[in-house]
């Protein structure tokens, strides 16, 4: 029976809920889901993902807010279509992704941004959307944690530090890219990575003008305990003002006590990360290499007679830390940090190149990066399941353009051979060949596990994530949920 593969049967869950009612401080054994099909897809009921009534399972998943730790996992551009494409290819239509599909409570999330005049922009970018959950404020495209009047706002990572928690910010992109940047910086334009661009394009924020500085300089000032990703090229730029004027940002980082690393093996050897010696791992000059080699859709790529393709692993990806490994390492470092042990931690994790490969109409590229986030979710859930005081939230910053269709379209197509032996046609139709495919405005999935996870059920907005996470931190009482 399928229930034998679940963490809890419905009966066990019901018994557990009853026993937990006896103690306000008892930790509820929230279940993780196995939503793979029951049997042969061709048989009656074989494709069903439910096995009996799930009321008790859902009841057992609902815990009051009070999270010592929060792990926020973002798939950039990972709308419902991108998840479905990856599931079909990686595990099969009737199967389930062991991380993304395992969270028991889910909903949908709106993600529009604002224009400078305050009116809605229905197809936002990653800067405005990231700012929404990082600060709780809607803003304009390209803004990094500033509102439509360019006023800076406190970020979740800063709030976590204020509450005495350890903090981390990891990504597969340049660490200065929009999604990781919204937690550590406030600037009027997302491309103000270093002092040079900031002086030119964001002069009011430049250090020499008395501003907060470039994204990279603000990152050093914000000082997360763990920062991992790409973007080392910007750290070769020199500061223009202040104590480190004339020195490169890398020199500044080292002089300020950062454990500055650039190699995969170095990360494996890190044993501690804290405010005395925070870890800054930059494993590429730009974005990190993606997991799968590219398979770019073309005009007529799915025509009759064209062979369906399989994805292959990119050798360059093997030379940098995988997102799942960075997630496991970050959780280990933060949870064993003195502040992490005492007060908890906040960690933001991003799989950035789902979006970047969707822009490039690269089906294999985006599938591989969805596979990476799925591994990161597995790592987070493994920790949360044992810990009992950790809220895990998984969502996207915005939707994107890829679609599964029945055959050739007027757009760009490619034909994939899934592991089930079926052909799957993926199309991109919002830009011509060689152009950048566009973001789309559809609501995105959001799912959660742990204390306060029920707050994502139904329809929420990205700004709600800010309040959910803050309220979880504020509601946590030491020993409150621990077994």
Residues contacting residue 330 through CB under 8 Å, at least 6 positions apart = 168, 170, 226, 228, 347, 349
From first to last of its 483 residues, the chain has per-residue pLDDT tens of 343 333 333 333 333 333 343 333 334 467 899 989 988 888 998 999 988 898 998 999 998 899 999 999 999 999 999 999 999 999 999 999 999 999 999 999 999 999 999 999 999 999 999 999 999 999 999 999 999 999 999 999 999 999 999 999 999 999 999 999 999 999 999 999 999 999 999 999 999 999 999 999 999 999 999 999 999 999 999 999 999 999 999 999 999 999 999 999 999 999 999 999 999 999 999 999 999 999 999 999 999 999 999 999 999 999 999 999 999 999 999 999 999 999 999 999 999 999 999 999 999 999 999 999 999 999 999 999 999 999 999 999 999 999 999 999 999 999 999 999 999 999 999 999 999 999 999 999 999 999 999 999 999 999 999 999 999 999 997 655 443
The number of angstroms, rounded, from the C-alpha of 211 to the middle of its chain's C-alpha atoms is: 29
Q: Which of 126, 145, 351, 353 is catalytic?
A: 126
DSSP state of 153: -
pTM for the whole thing? 0.93
On the CB side of 84, CA atoms within 13 Å amount to 15
Give the C-alpha separation, 398 to 444, whole Å. 7
Which of 169, 24, 7, 22 lies closest to 477 in space, CA to CA?
24
Q: Are the C-beta atoms of residues 89 and 424 closer than 8 Å to each other?
A: yes
Q: Calculate the CA dihedral of residues 175, 179, 184, 185 and round it to 10 degrees.
A: 100
Distances (CA, A) of 20 to 10, 129, 255, 450: 15, 38, 51, 15
Distance CA 175, CA 234 (A): 10
Contact partners, residue 32, CB within 8 Å, separation at least 6: 7, 102, 103, 104, 381, 385, 449
Q: Which residue has the tokens 């009737």?
A: 94
Helices (H), ranges, 415-461: none
Q: 256: number of CA atoms within 13 Å, CB side?
A: 24
Q: Provide the phi-psi class of 207: left if phi over 0, else alpha when psi is between -120 and 50, else beta.
A: alpha
Token duo for residue 70:
């929060």
The domain locations on the chain are 68-475
- CA terminus-to-terminus distance, the chain: 29
Q: In whole numbers, what is the pLDDT of the chain averaged over residues?
A: 93
pLDDT tens track for 310-321: 999 999 999 999
Task: Look at residues 135, 139, 112, 108 and name the one whose alpha carbon lies nearest to residue 123.
Answer: 112
Query: Rounded to an integer, what distance in angstroms lies between the CA atom of residue 168 and that of residue 184?
Result: 10
SS3 352: coil
Coil, helix or strand for 235? helix
Give per-residue pLDDT as tens, 89-112: 999 999 999 999 999 999 999 999
What are residue 395's DSSP bridge partners?
74, 446
Token match 């062979």: residue? 307
Residue matched to tokens 């009321």: 55
- 126 assigned to active site: yes
**Using alpha carbons only, what angle is made at residue 411 by residues 406 and 417, rounded to the nearest 5 degrees?**
45
Residues present in the chain in total: 483
CA angle 342-344-350, nearest 5°?
155
Q: Which single residue is written with the structure tokens 């530090």? A: 161
Does the structural domain 68-475 have CATH classification 3.30.70.2860? Answer: no
Asked if residue 443 lies in contact with residue 110, where contact means CB atoms within 8 angstroms, the answer is yes
Measured between alpha carbons, how far is 278 from 221 in angstroms, rounded to an integer? 12
Distances (CA, A) of 481 to 68, 76, 126, 327, 377: 9, 32, 34, 23, 22
């Amino acid at each position: 029976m399928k229930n034998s593969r679940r963490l809890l049967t419905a009966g066990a869950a019901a018994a557990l809920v009853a026993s937990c009612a006896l103690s306000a401080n008892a930790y509820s054994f929230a279940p993780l889901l196995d939503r793979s099909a029951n049997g042969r897809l061709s048989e009656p009921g074989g494709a069903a993902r439910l096995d009996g009534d799930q009321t008790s399972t859902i009841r057992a998943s609902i815990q009051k807010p009070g999270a010592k730790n929060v792990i926020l996992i973002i798939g950039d551009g990972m709308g419902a279509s991108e998840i479905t494409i990856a599931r079909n290819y990686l595990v099969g239509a009737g199967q389930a992704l062991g991380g993304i599909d395992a969270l028991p409570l889910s909903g949908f999330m709106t993600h529009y941004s604002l224009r400078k005049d305050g009116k809605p922009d229905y197809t936002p970018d990653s800067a405005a959307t990231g700012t929404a959950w990082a600060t709780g404020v809607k803003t304009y495209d390209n803004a990094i944690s500033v509102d439509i009047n360019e006023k800076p706002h406190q970020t979740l990572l800063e709030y976590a530090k204020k509450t005495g928690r350890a903090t981390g910010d990891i990504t597969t992109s340049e660490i200065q890219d929009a999604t990781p940047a919204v937690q550590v910086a406030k600037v009027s334009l997302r491309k103000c990575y270093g002092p040079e661009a900031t002086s030119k394009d964001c002069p009011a924020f430049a250090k020499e003008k008395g501003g907060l500085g470039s994204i990279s300089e603000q990152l050093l000032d914000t000082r997360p305990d763990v920062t991992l990703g790409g973007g080392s090229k910007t750290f070769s730029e020199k500061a223009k003002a202040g104590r480190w004027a004339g020195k490169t940002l890398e020199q500044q980082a080292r002089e300020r006590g950062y454990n500055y690393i650039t190699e995969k093996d170095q990360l494996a050897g890190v044993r501690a990360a804290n405010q005395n010696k925070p870890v800054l791992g930059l494993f590429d000059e730009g974005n990190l290499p993606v997991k799968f080699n590219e398979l770019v859709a073309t005009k007529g790529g799915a025509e009759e007679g064209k062979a369906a393709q399989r994805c292959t692993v990119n050798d360059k990806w093997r030379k940098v830390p995988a997102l799942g490994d960075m997630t496991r390492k970050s959780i280990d470092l933060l949870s064993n940090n003195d502040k992490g042990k005492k007060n908890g931690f906040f960690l933001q994790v991003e799989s950035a190149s789902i979006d970047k490969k969707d822009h490039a109409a690269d089906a294999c590229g985006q599938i591989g990066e969805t596979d990476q986030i799925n591994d990161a979710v597995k790592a987070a859930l493994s920790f949360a399941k044992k810990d009992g005081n950790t809220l895990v939230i998984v969502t996207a910053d915005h939707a994107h353009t890829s679609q599964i269709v029945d055959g050739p379209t007027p757009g760009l197509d490619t034909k994939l051979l899934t592991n089930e032996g079926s052909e799957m046609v993926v199309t991109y139709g919002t830009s011509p060949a060689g152009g950048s495919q566009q973001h789309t405005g559809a609501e995105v999935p959001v799912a959660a596990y742990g204390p306060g996870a029920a707050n994502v059920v139904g329809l929420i907005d990205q700004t709600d994530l800010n309040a959910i996470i803050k309220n979880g931190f504020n509601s946590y009482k030491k020993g409150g949920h621990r077994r």
